[in-house]
Homo-oligomer: A and B are copies of this chain.
Amino acid sequence: MIKLDKENSLAKLNGANIHNYLDKIEARDQGFYKIVDNDVSEILDFAKSVEGKYEDIVVLGIGGSSLGTICLRQSLTHLHESIELHVLDNIDPQYMAQLSDVLDFEKTLFIVISKSGGTPETLSQYFYFREKCDNFVFITGPTGLLRETGEKEGIKMFEVPENVGGRFSVLTVVGLLPAALIGIDIKKLLEGAQEMRDKFLSEDLEENMCYQIAQMQHQHGGEGRNMTVMMPYSQRLIRFADWYRQLLAESIGKSKDVGLTPINALGVTDQHSQSQLYMDGPDDKFFIFIKVENLGPEVLIPGDEVYYLKGVSFNKLMHIEQKGTTDALTHNKKPNITLNVPEVNEHNLGALFMLFEGATAFLGEFYGINAFDQPGVELSKKFTKELLTRPA
């Protein structure tokens, strides 16, 4: 079970209003915390029906259609699976050409993901690859260009629930279908999420970690700590911090007075890149560490040239360096919390997704904003369309 160590949080927690805030979230009619009860048999049936058929799976998607899947892949699969999962989340022609070069299109399945069905980057990629390949599946909303095209072409389609936004969609078919295709146990993902969802709905402060984390972020935000650093000490979780980056930025970045900037970091790696700033720099950050108790079989560091490494394992060194870092931050009065995760597996990753989705929902209500829209991206989309259609 995931536990929260908040000893160094420098925040004052108060659960008197959990009930009110839960009511406010409920009133927004968002489905992210209900999806854990959804039926996944259509996904599992499809995965079974294509078993052994493909060597490469390519997700065409961007933002909320890609970040969850990238995290699932990094966290839960070994470097060299028998099926390789690619996520094409950019339109750089060199990047697309590189991928094209290595694919056998007979043995490749493309999963095209766009909730609106009109994401120009994703549509462009689809137009490009449909000239090379015949194997497509669409994940999209009930209407839109992708839906129409799929109907016309007779392409297998899965539907994104309407009331779940892209950045909250990792535990819908958006993340679950690619995951199932590379052998991830998606039922366990949902079980873990369900366990955390029950805590999210709890009015008991000690149990409701979502509420606690949101309240800490909100308090520190009010005291000028306008950045949240997420730093897992696990190579497997490096992309979890990327996934959270979108969730926090898009959900809370809403006005000149409301916005926390997410910072992704990785232990121990970024101790050698960001620690100087974190330790000595301005007091403008709140730190969330993720410690993984079981980092796999113990691997001893051989040799005795360095006295303090004698008899130490890499596992222990990871843990000790994490503690050295949080102790030093605490010594320097920089607020930090640590999530203790027993190990990186489906169950715990499902719980982590739900933990931060729930925390973000509370945070939106604390700020009195709608955490589920993204009006700010419309202007650049408008400019882009105008530039594209302007006579040369």
Q: A93-B298, A236-B94 in contact; A273/B256 too (CB < 8 A)?
A: no
Contact with B along A249-288 (1 / 0, CB 8 A): 1101111111101010010110111111111111111000
Q: A276-B376, A295-B92 in contact; A263/B266 too (CB < 8 A)?
A: no
| Candidates B93, B226, B233, B297; contact of A282 at CB < 8 Å | B226
Residues of B within 8 A of A317 (CB): 91, 120-121, 124, 388
Residues of B within 8 A of A236 (CB): 92, 94-95
Nearest-neighbor residue (CB-CB) of A167 within chain B: B273
A328 to B377, CA, bound (A): 9
Tell me the minimal C-beta distance from A283 to chain B in angstroms.
6
Residues of B within 8 A of A274 (CB): 245-246, 249-250
Residues of B within 8 A of A80 (CB): 101-102
| Candidates B92, B279, B331; contact of A377 at CB < 8 Å | B279
Tell me the minimal C-beta distance from A190 to chain B in angstroms.
24
Please tell me the size bucket of the interface on A: 35 or more
A281 to B281, CA, bound (A): 23
Q: Is A1's beta carbon under 8 Å from chain B?
A: no
A261 to B225, CA, bound (A): 12
Q: Is A39's beta carbon under 8 Å from chain B?
A: no
Residues of B within 8 A of A102 (CB): 79-80
The reply to whether B276 and A374 form a contact with Cβ atoms under 8 Å apart is yes
Residues of B within 8 A of A261 (CB): 227, 261, 263, 277, 281, 284-285
Copy count, this protein chain: 2
The reply to whether B93 and A384 form a contact with Cβ atoms under 8 Å apart is no
| Candidates B78, B145, B273, B328; contact of A306 at CB < 8 Å | B145
The reply to whether A95 and B272 form a contact with Cβ atoms under 8 Å apart is no
Secondary structure type dominating chain A contacts: helix
Residues of B within 8 A of A385 (CB): 308
The reply to whether B379 and A121 form a contact with Cβ atoms under 8 Å apart is no
The reply to whether B90 and A127 form a contact with Cβ atoms under 8 Å apart is no
Q: Is A128's beta carbon under 8 Å from chain B?
A: yes
The reply to whether A384 and B324 form a contact with Cβ atoms under 8 Å apart is yes
Q: Is A97's beta carbon under 8 Å from chain B?
A: yes
The reply to whether B302 and A93 form a contact with Cβ atoms under 8 Å apart is no
Q: Is A327's beta carbon under 8 Å from chain B?
A: yes
A297 to B316, CA, bound (A): 49
Q: A62-B269, A332-B379, A389-B308 in contact; A281/B258 too (CB < 8 A)?
A: yes
The reply to whether A302 and B127 form a contact with Cβ atoms under 8 Å apart is yes
The reply to whether A284 and B226 form a contact with Cβ atoms under 8 Å apart is yes
Q: Is A89's beta carbon under 8 Å from chain B?
A: yes
Tell me the minimal C-beta distance from A322 to chain B in angstroms.
9
Would you give 10 A-B contacts (Cβ < 8 Å), ordered by A?
A79-B98, A123-B309, A124-B314, A145-B305, A253-B276, A253-B278, A279-B379, A308-B388, A309-B388, A327-B380
